[in-house]
Amino acid sequence: MTLFPGGTGVTHLSVYDWAGPDGLPGGSAHVHLVCTEGYVVLEGRGRLQTLGADGYAETPLAPLTVAWFAPGVVHRLVNDGGLKILVVMQNAGLPEAGDAVLTFPPDHLADPARYATAAALPPDDPAGGARRRKDLAVDGFLRLREAVERDGPGALAEFYARAAALVREELPAWRGRWRDGPLTAATATGAQIERLADGGFHHLHDGRLTVLGAPPERGYGMCGRLATYPGSAFPVL
């Protein structure tokens, strides 16, 4: 199946309405290490809470809002009512392979086994596991927010270091996913430009229409119930 343009991933997200430790309903706070993530708000209202180079910020989300953030921006979705989002994710497959690191408290981040246990969803109770995982990530996010508001963005350095250490062994597999998806797509565009520069156009004869139907099932993601369109992401190995 033809991958979505640019090797990106496309997911429909219904943000959790479960209240967190601070009483706000929403998803699990986390960070991406190499992927930019984009939100296109489809329905409802909410807020995007972020920690990054500019400190703490809270951005209102309403229908037709488009927002995206680069690697390193710690983010948390707050659902103020019926929030549904189309998520466009760079480097399809990498977030599912570990690029997304949850903001668990430091003792969980320092122990890979403990982190993996807390991040996993038990087959017999995925909803309960997702809720516990969310609360733990929000707890860590609130601690980070307090540190950033007190000491500035530099307070994120320890969290970044622990997140990078957690994924180090997975980097060879990440390179393969990147090479087979986004890099291949970008390289193909370069080849087409060169072909056109030489007067060629035969790749235009190979153009085809691809239509992705609605995803059949929703899973329990970090931020809500999600449905990833087939063909827009690599399977998690």
pLDDT digits (tens, 9 = 90+) for 121-131: 999 999 999 99
Separation between Cα atoms, residue 115 and residue 167, nearest integer Å: 11
Joined tokens for residue 42: 């489809």
Q: Is residue 201 part of a domain?
A: no
Q: Is residue 207 part of a domain?
A: no
**CATH number of the domain residue 224 falls in:** 2.60.120.10
Domain range for 143 is 5-181+218-228
Separation between Cα atoms, residue 101 and residue 49, nearest integer Å: 16
In Å, how far from its chain's centre is CA 79?
A: 17
What's the mean pLDDT in 76-86?
Answer: 97
Amino acid, single-letter form, for residue 206? D
Q: Is residue 234 part of a domain?
A: no
Q: Is residue 196 part of a domain?
A: no
**Residue 154 φ then ψ, to 5°:** -60, -20
Residue 214 has pLDDT above 90, yes or no: no
Q: How many CB atoms lie within 10 A of CB 30?
A: 23
Q: Is residue 67 part of a domain?
A: yes
Give this prediction's pTM: 0.91
What's the mean pLDDT in 205-213?
Answer: 86
Q: Is residue 133 part of a domain?
A: yes
Q: How many CB atoms lie within 10 A of CB 59?
A: 14
Q: State pLDDT tens for residues 11-59.
A: 999 999 999 999 999 999 999 999 999 999 999 999 999 999 999 999 9
Q: Is residue 71 part of a domain?
A: yes
What's the mean pLDDT in 100-114?
Answer: 96
Domain count, the chain: 1
**pLDDT confidence tier of residue 217, bands split at 50, 70 and 90:** confident
Angle at 202 between CA 199 and CA 205, to 5 degrees: 140
Query: What is the residue whose two structure tokens read 């981040």?
Result: 109
Q: Is residue 188 part of a domain?
A: no
